[in-house]
């Protein structure tokens, strides 16, 4: 097994495509929607909302086969150049489907749409609709507009492009999320105002806007009532949350966590992605006070060199990060820590890189993500001189990935004999007597148990390490249902 196949669900980075999975049975007479999702969990969340929206407004159901669909939507990512390139090659394939079926509707959303706007239709004129991450709630109207002008001659058609940032309006128009299983994502803020010098997010998703507190709490209470037991709070800079309360005051991220932990039924809390600068003492206290907080934190640092951090405009030093983690480990000694690293940032020397390698070893990270720096048009770092040959960057990446892989193997091995709190998610497909769940550190845990326990938490003693992401165990204690 390669390390790339290990993608902890709560920290999946912008690295792979997914197809939003159908939740309904399919039928030839029903209109079908296919969504390809590229990039981060914010995009996955958005894709599910698109499916909910078009399901409610026009009766579309999801299909996992693009050949079978009446609408194809691509929810795109522009975090690195490679991700962006995928868009036009993917659209090229869809063009052939449209040639066979001229009624097929093609829409492009997400961060590439936001960045490129009507350039998308210049390069791919068969695209019917372009919408951004903050305007996806207008999809039903866009679709109506499209249908209304299908018969019109080309020159009378208006271009359906809407990549504006209408504040947080989006959430007011989204239907209640549909629930499958015991885990759910809840987006609590949009955009990012940190402007790291390499990153496109502030330009593609806009500046930070937090959802009002009551909306977030109501959504989570609704999910808990429908059986959800684990919530992952989502935002590009999630711990920068500053949501307005009903009284017009501001609720911070740690305050939000405390309120969510009081909602009956919520047995586990995760969040992604946080920034070290806003990893406050108050947030660390939540790890001391709230048993629902998982012992797993994804806190991207990007580099182990102060010079590089400064050039990246991360606005903190390595020591600041180290101090925060030391404080956190004081209240949670079993904390699993993961991070993102950018390798080959302009000006990164052998010495800087050596500092990053040493830093990864010193901080004893669990699984982390690492990427070769990708120059993004319009970002400040794209103007920096960069004399490091590509091959040197690739070699550095290989070295860093080796260290990261070894540390996650070590972390899995260290689970042997330990007791893990596990959310029991399902009965094994292979054996009806075996249950499958996830530990705090996102490893899958299987053990012998009863199907009626699904949806509850259990203390499991780990008895065998199977793979990097799968361990076996034995039940020690079954918690009462938290609802
Ligand atoms: N807050 C975001 C983080 C940005 S994107 C989140 O929710 O995930 C995820 C990661 O992509 C970043 O942490 C960074 O390591 C990487 N990344 C961002 N821009 C990049 C670039 N220009 N080149 C290479 N990697 C990049
Ligand atoms: Fe990007 Fe930095 Fe924000 S990585 S998402 S600008 S915290």
Alpha helices in 263-349 (DSSP H): 281-289, 306-311, 318-331
What does the block give as tokens for 368?
Answer: 């982390």
Distance 369 CA to ligand 2 centre (A): 15
- Residue 28 pLDDT: 59
Q: Is 297 helix (H, G, I), strand (E, B) or coil?
A: strand
> Using CA positions, which residue lies closest to atom 7 of ligand 2?
194
> Using CA positions, which residue lies closest to atom 18 of ligand 1?
199
The residue to which tokens 């500092």 are assigned: 355
205 lines ligand 2 (CB under 6 A): no
- Residue 16 pLDDT: 55
Distance separating alpha carbons of residues 128 and 150, to the nearest angstrom: 10
14 lines ligand 1 (CB under 6 A): yes
Distance 85 CA to ligand 1 centre (A): 17
| Residue to probe by mutation, ligand 1, list 7, 8, 12, 13, most atoms within 8 Å of CB | 13
Are the C-beta atoms of 235 and 190 separated by less than 8 Å? yes
- Residue 173 pLDDT: 76
In which band, very low, low, confident or very high, does the pLDDT at 12 lie, cut at 50, 70 and 90?
Answer: very low
- Does 8 have pLDDT greater than 70? no
- Residue 15 pLDDT: 45
In which band, very low, low, confident or very high, does the pLDDT at 5 lie, cut at 50, 70 and 90?
Answer: very low
Angle formed at CA 332 by CA 326 and CA 333, multiple of 5 degrees = 75
198 lines ligand 1 (CB under 6 A): yes
In which band, very low, low, confident or very high, does the pLDDT at 27 lie, cut at 50, 70 and 90?
Answer: low
Q: Which of 112-126, 140-154, 271-285 has the highest mean pLDDT?
A: 271-285
Closest ligand 1 atom to Cα of 200: 19
The domains of the chain, with CATH numbers, are 9-162 (3.40.50.12160), 176-294 (3.30.750.210), 320-413 (3.30.750.200), 419-478 (2.40.50.140)
- Residue 23 pLDDT: 56
127 lines ligand 2 (CB under 6 A): no
Taking the whole predicted model, whether its pTM rises above 0.85 is answered as yes
Q: How far is CA 3 from the centre of its chain?
A: 18
Phi/psi at 175 (5° precision) = -70, 165
Closest ligand 1 atom to Cα of 235: 7
pLDDT in tens, 52-71: 999 999 999 999 999 999 99
286 lines ligand 1 (CB under 6 A): no
Q: Give every CB contact of residue 359 below 8 A, 6+ residues apart in sequence.
A: 301, 304, 305, 318
pLDDT in tens, 360-400: 999 999 989 999 999 999 999 999 999 999 999 999 999 99
- Residue 22 pLDDT: 66
Distance 110 CA to ligand 1 centre (A): 15
Distance separating alpha carbons of residues 159 and 130, to the nearest angstrom: 9
The residue to which tokens 């009766």 are assigned: 59
298 lines ligand 1 (CB under 6 A): no
- Residue 458 pLDDT: 98
- Cα separation values, 480 from 220, 459, 483, Å: 20, 12, 9
In which band, very low, low, confident or very high, does the pLDDT at 168 lie, cut at 50, 70 and 90?
Answer: low
In which band, very low, low, confident or very high, does the pLDDT at 179 lie, cut at 50, 70 and 90?
Answer: confident
């Amino acid at each position: 097994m390669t390390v790339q196949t290990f993608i902890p669900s709560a920290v999946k980075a912008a690295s792979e495509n997914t197809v939003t999975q159908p939740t309904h049975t399919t039928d030839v007479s029903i209109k079908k929607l296919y969504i390809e999702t590229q990039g981060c969990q914010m995009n996955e969340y958005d894709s599910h909302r698109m499916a909910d929206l078009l399901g409610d407004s026009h009766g579309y159901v999801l299909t996992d086969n693009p050949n079978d669909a009446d609408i194809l939507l691509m929810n795109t990512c522009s975090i690195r150049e490679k991700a962006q390139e995928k868009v036009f090659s993917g659209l090229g394939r869809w063009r052939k489907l449209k040639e066979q079926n001229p009624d097929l509707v093609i829409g492009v959303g997400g961060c590439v749409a936001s960045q490129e706007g009507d350039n998308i239709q210049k390069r791919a004129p068969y695209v019917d609709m372009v919408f951004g991450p903050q305007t996806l709630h207008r999809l039903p109207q866009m679709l109506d507009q499209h249908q209304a002008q299908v018969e019109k001659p080309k020159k009378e058609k208006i271009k359906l492009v809407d990549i504006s940032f209408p504040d947080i309006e989006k959430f007011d128009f989204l239907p209640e999320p549909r629930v499958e299983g015991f885990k759910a994502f809840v987006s609590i803020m949009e955009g990012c105002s940190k402007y790291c010098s390499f990153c496109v997010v502030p330009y593609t998703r806009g500046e930070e806007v937090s959802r009002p507190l009551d909306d977030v709490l109501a959504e989570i209470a609704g999910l808990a009532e429908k059986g959800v037991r684990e919530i992952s709070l989502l935002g590009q800079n999630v711990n920068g949350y500053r949501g307005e309360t009903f009284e017009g005051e501001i609720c911070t991220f740690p305050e939000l966590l405390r309120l969510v932990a009081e909602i009956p039924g919520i047995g586990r809390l995760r969040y992604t992605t946080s920034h070290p600068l806003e990893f406050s003492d108050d947030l660390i206290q939540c790890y001391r006070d709230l048993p629902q907080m998982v012992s797993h934190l994804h806190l991207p640092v990007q580099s182990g060199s102060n010079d590089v951090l400064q050039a990246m405009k991360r606005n903190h030093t390595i020591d600041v990060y180290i101090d925060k983690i030391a404080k956190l480990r004081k209240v949670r000694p079993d904390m699993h820590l993961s991070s993102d690293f950018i390798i080959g940032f302009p000006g990164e020397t052998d010495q800087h890189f050596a500092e990053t390698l040493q830093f990864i070893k010193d901080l004893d990270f669990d699984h982390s993500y690492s990427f070769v720096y990708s120059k993004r048009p319009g970002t400040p770092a794209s103007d920096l001189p960069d004399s490091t040959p590509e091959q040197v960057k690739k070699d550095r990446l290989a070295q860093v990935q080796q260290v990261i892989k070894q540390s996650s193997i070590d972390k899995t091995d260290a689970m042997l004999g330990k007791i893990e709190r596990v959310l029991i998610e399902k009965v094994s497909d292979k054996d009806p007597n075996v249950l499958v769940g996830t530990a705090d550190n996102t490893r899958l845990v299987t053990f012998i148990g009863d199907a009626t326990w699904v949806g509850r938490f259990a203390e499991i003693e780990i008895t065998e390490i199977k793979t990097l992401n799968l361990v076996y165990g034995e039940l020690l204690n079954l918690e009462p249902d938290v609802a």
